[in-house]
Structure 1
Amino acid sequence: MNAKINAQLPILLIDDDPIVLEVSVTALESEGVTNVLTLSDSRNIIKFLENNPVSMIVLDLLMPHVSGMEILPVLIRDYPHIPVIVMTSSDDIDTAVSCIKAGATDYLTKPMDIERLLLSVEKALQVSELSTENRNLRTYLLNDCLQHPEAFGSIVTVSKKMRAIFQYIEVIAKSDQPVLITGETGVGKELIARVIATLSQRSGAFVTVNAAGLDDNMFSDTLFGHKKGAFTGADQSRDGLVSAAEKGTLFLDEIGDLNETSQVKLLRLIQEQEFYPVGSDLLKKTDARLIVATNKDLTQLITAGTFRKDLYYRLCAHHIHLPPLSERREDIPVLLDHFLDKACKALNKPKPQPSREVAALLSTYHFQGNVRELHAMVFDAVARYSAGLLTLDCFAGLSRGDCCTNELVKLLPANKEVDEALYSFFGRFPTIREVEDYLISSAMNLTGGNQRSASTLLGIARQTLSKRLSGPGDRESGTRDQGPGTSNIKVFYPSFKDFPGP
């Protein structure tokens, strides 16, 4: 039996037959499950559960005093988050169907098949874990909170997309399932992996491996180690990085570059949590948590026949896709300021003020290398900087023609003066949506959230403001749906020269 059973809370076995209880406990302990509780009197179940949280229940249907058929609906009603496996000596299809309809996760018959029991327990625990994660994620998203914001201190962002990812990470961090992190080069995949490892609270080390360029022999030796004499030059045994990550986290980067043979070995490592060192027939076990990352589209690689579909589905038990910098441009000003701080400290220079043109151009630049490219660009610019404003001349390779969305900024001559108020508020040339959001937010703040008063300040109908606050407008409301990321109302405001200061 190679099922992976890892219950953080105890498994509760309920049966009036002590022999069945003993056999079941022994079978689970053989798979490394030591937190098993037993109960032989069905009358005590509800009181027991009030004081003892459990991960799942294996329930016998035919018991004296109170039968399992009577208890099952109560458990499903009062403890819907606990999966229940029913067990009975009656091999009756109607009974099985009734139990499943009532909410049971699985149905087993006696005499008990140990293999079947273990597989059923494994499946039920996976369902329980997924249910718990979904419940926690809903709570996080509804409350818009982070329990451990300090864990994300290394990631500079004000993006709502990134905040949603942080909330998801807090939910899945302690799971034992693999995590797949995807995203373009330079978006911060390793930073995210380190945060997950930190929040997992595992006692072992965080170990990184870059799979790019590793042939199968190097992959096997790097991950699994080797036995003395396994190959020419193997003068002594060596543990691999899987062993180094024991009780910790193994981060495997550039997973899309693995060849097929290495993919098979990785699949076995995930499924069985075991491996053979090179040249050894001694099987080793591991409990290292696996996190993998790639900048490639694995579904395309599967279609091309270069990546195994079964491995993909094992890896993406939890999937995190990091958006490119072009999809979270609101982070560019804060990242620019952060990297200026770092660069000036590293190069022992006073922190310069970026010129308006630099701020505007960076806010619309095609960052193909994402955050990593911005980091390198700022460090190089600070190295070139001597005095005064940090101008476009300090940014090698950056020109107005590199910008992608702000056509007005592209056409501005280098010495064109842009209205001071815009940069006082936004630090760069804002979009119409950003100006509208600022106006609506300010009006709501000034009126204490009173929509009628706020709409009067804004010069729009209260119904229009209400629709704007609640989400995208519809075409019948008199508002214009301009597509994702655009405003649905038309706000009239004076010339930016008359725009009030902070």
Structure 2
Amino acid sequence: MANRQHTLDRPIFIVDDEPEILLAVDTCLRMAGMDNIITISDARDVIRQMERQIPCLMILDLNMPHINGRRLLQIIRKTYPRIPVIILTGAIDVDTAVNCMKIGAMDYVVKPVEEKRLLAAVEQALALINLENKAKMTLPTELFAQIKNPKAFAHIITQDEKMHSIFHYIEAIAPSSQPVLVFGETGVGKELIGQSIHELSQRKGKLVVVNVAGLDDNIFSDTLFGHVPGAFTGAQTSRPGLIEQAAGGTLFLDEIGDLALTSQVKLLRLLQEREYLPLGSDKTRQSDARVVAATNRDLWNLERKGVFRKDLIYRLSTHTLTLPPLRDRLLDLPLLLDRFICQAANELDKPVPELPKILIEQMETYPFKGNIRELKSMVYDAISRYRKGPMTADLFKGLGIVGSGIFGSSSFGSSSFGSGETVSGSFESGAGPDKDSSVSLPTLKEASRELVEKAMKQTGGNQSAAAGILGISQQALSKRLKKLKQEQDKN
């Protein structure tokens, strides 16, 4: 195997739920001189492992519990199209294996595995990889191999280049003891980034997380700084604050933009002087905890409004990073969907459904204002109502026409409903057919016209894509557009 040394810079994955098969294939390859091998007995762990390390080749069993080989092959083909996959199959499943080759498998080997047949298939796959490397057809996701400590980011599902750049930055600043300020919309994973920063810092203490939103000054002080006996009525014993618990570690302050001004002064002193006063004490204590803060708000805008201190912003933002929203990292959407679907199906004891390409395309137009957290909630709810067959858009709340990416919210827009209220919102507030209301409903003709116009605008005039969003054929959309033009010409 002349190309072995070069191609095995990345591992070979062997995926099979039968230990004896795993052992036999692993032994066969190692005896042939290939020692960069990872064996996986649970199909649900494959994508998680691939987020840490991209294999050069995968040998995949066809019949496994939780996620069968065909479904896993579809996932791999969608997100890692250049990884060769060799199917392992029983003699009675040869037809199925051939069908798997039609959807992207490179070859198949029948069980019980014949050594010569297996090695021939592997050598062919590795030869193909070598040709692709010579042609510089490398995987985009190989950029992640440049991360020095990929395990620190294993809990973050991504193959996005912007996230990859952030990982590099985090590796660079992790040894620093200076504060880090993490910006990002709600649900983008700011706390997960805090975990990575803490892990890479190799600080001996714990990571302590506190959400400061809604805490008044007394509760904030007691929570962070603790108190001594007699500090207030009922304080009979001392209580260590979270700063003390985070000694030698990291203190993660979430929603820092909602911190009260009086509390900001105390936090500023902690950052400047590395000291604090427990409630009721006149003796300052020292802190060596590193502070990582996160917010979904514009702190400079809050400063202009007089509700956030400028000097605190400077202290918090020695190191700063901004996480992109999910709508700006759509390459991660299939990965996240697959992970959450597998998790939800496992927890709810449901079969793992097929994820059609059309569903992913529909979800790509959805605004995801709650980002990854919203996606996960949508998936769990959809799986709870799933019965059989492929996943469909109607299983996902808010993914229909009203509430899709055409509008970015569950309303027809301000032109139809005045201030952008939804139909349900109007009637819930007491407006009904026999009551006066300042909100007027559009006619069906008006609503239909606006749906078509916004679908065309959302897709940049692509009739095929717009028809897919609207759930009608392209021919039907073409007729509607022609009719709309005729009506406009008349007017």
Structure 2 length-normalised TM: 0.55
Deviation readout 1:138-168 (Å, 9 max, x if unpaired): xxxx998210011111110110000000000
> Is the Cα–Cα contact under 8 Å of residues 257 and 308 in structure 2 kept in the other structure?
yes
Unaligned runs of 5+ in 1: 1-141, 418-502
Counterpart in the other structure of 2:376: 375
> Is the Cα–Cα contact under 8 Å of residues 183 and 296 in structure 2 kept in the other structure?
yes
State how 1:344-359 maps to structure 2 within 5 Å: 344-359=345-360
Measured in 1, the distance between the counterparts of 2:365 and 2:397 equals: 16
Measured in 1, the distance between the counterparts of 2:357 and 2:328 equals: 22
> 1:400 offset after TM fit, Å?
3.3
Which amino acid in structure 1 is aligned with residue 148 of structure 2?
Q
Secondary structure of 2:210's counterpart equals: strand
Counterpart in the other structure of 1:94: none
> 1:239 offset after TM fit, Å?
0.7
Measured in 1, the distance between the counterparts of 2:216 and 2:354 equals: 48
RMSD of aligned residue pairs (Cα, Å) = 1.9
Structure 1 length-normalised TM: 0.53
Secondary structure of 1:307's counterpart equals: coil
Measured in 1, the distance between the counterparts of 2:472 and 2:323 equals: 37
Which amino acid in structure 1 is aligned with residue 309 of structure 2?
R
Measured in 1, the distance between the counterparts of 2:237 and 2:312 equals: 32
Measured in 2, the distance between the counterparts of 1:145 and 1:271 equals: 36
2:405 aligns with one of 403, 406, 410: 403
Secondary structure of 1:311's counterpart equals: helix
Counterpart in the other structure of 2:22: none
> 1:389 offset after TM fit, Å?
1.0
Secondary structure of 1:319's counterpart equals: strand
Measured in 1, the distance between the counterparts of 2:372 and 2:343 equals: 14
Question: Is 1:259 the counterpart of 2:256 in the alignment?
Answer: no
Measured in 1, the distance between the counterparts of 2:249 and 2:194 equals: 12
Question: Is 1:197 the counterpart of 2:198 in the alignment?
Answer: yes
Measured in 2, the distance between the counterparts of 1:280 and 1:314 equals: 25
Distance 1:286 1:369, change over 3 A: same
Which amino acid in structure 1 is aligned with residue 213 of structure 2?
A
Secondary structure of 1:360's counterpart equals: helix
> 1:218 offset after TM fit, Å?
0.4
> Is the Cα–Cα contact under 8 Å of residues 357 and 414 in structure 1 kept in the other structure?
no
Secondary structure of 2:146's counterpart equals: coil
Distance 1:262 1:184, change over 3 A: same
> 1:415 offset after TM fit, Å?
7.0
Which amino acid in structure 2 is aligned with residue 411 of structure 1?
A
Counterpart in the other structure of 1:297: 298
> 1:352 offset after TM fit, Å?
0.3
Deviation readout 1:274-320 (Å, 9 max, x if unpaired): 01100100110010010000010001001111100000001000001
Measured in 2, the distance between the counterparts of 1:144 and 1:236 equals: 51
Measured in 2, the distance between the counterparts of 1:346 and 1:389 equals: 19
Measured in 2, the distance between the counterparts of 1:236 and 1:143 equals: 50
Counterpart in the other structure of 2:279: 278
> Is the Cα–Cα contact under 8 Å of residues 213 and 258 in structure 2 kept in the other structure?
yes
The percentage of aligned residue pairs carrying the same residue is 53
Counterpart in the other structure of 1:170: 171
Secondary structure of 1:232's counterpart equals: coil
Secondary structure of 2:252's counterpart equals: strand
> Is the Cα–Cα contact under 8 Å of residues 403 and 410 in structure 1 kept in the other structure?
no
Indicate the structure (1 or 2) with the bigger Cα radius of gyration: 1
Which amino acid in structure 1 is aligned with residue 224 of structure 2?
L
Deviation readout 1:399-418 (Å, 9 max, x if unpaired): 1351244354332264759x
Counterpart in the other structure of 2:410: none
Measured in 2, the distance between the counterparts of 1:214 and 1:161 equals: 33
Secondary structure of 1:400's counterpart equals: coil
Measured in 2, the distance between the counterparts of 1:167 and 1:250 equals: 22
Counterpart in the other structure of 2:247: 246
Aligned length: 277
Deviation readout 1:31-81 (Å, 9 max, x if unpaired): xxxxxxxxxxxxxxxxxxxxxxxxxxxxxxxxxxxxxxxxxxxxxxxxxxx
> Is the Cα–Cα contact under 8 Å of residues 205 and 246 in structure 2 kept in the other structure?
yes
Counterpart in the other structure of 2:343: 342
Counterpart in the other structure of 1:236: 237
Which amino acid in structure 2 is aligned with residue 340 of structure 1?
I
> 1:264 offset after TM fit, Å?
0.5
> 1:357 offset after TM fit, Å?
3.0
> Is the Cα–Cα contact under 8 Å of residues 378 and 396 in structure 2 kept in the other structure?
yes
Measured in 2, the distance between the counterparts of 1:410 and 1:188 equals: 31
Which amino acid in structure 1 is aligned with residue 467 of structure 2?
L
Measured in 2, the distance between the counterparts of 1:415 and 1:337 equals: 27
Secondary structure of 1:269's counterpart equals: helix
Measured in 1, the distance between the counterparts of 2:166 and 2:314 equals: 20
State how 1:49-64 maps to structure 2 within 5 Å: none
Measured in 2, the distance between the counterparts of 1:415 and 1:381 equals: 23
Which amino acid in structure 2 is aligned with residue 316 of structure 1?
S
> Is the Cα–Cα contact under 8 Å of residues 357 and 392 in structure 1 kept in the other structure?
no
Which amino acid in structure 2 is aligned with residue 275 of structure 1?
Y
Counterpart in the other structure of 2:363: 362
Question: Is 1:311 the counterpart of 2:312 in the alignment?
Answer: yes
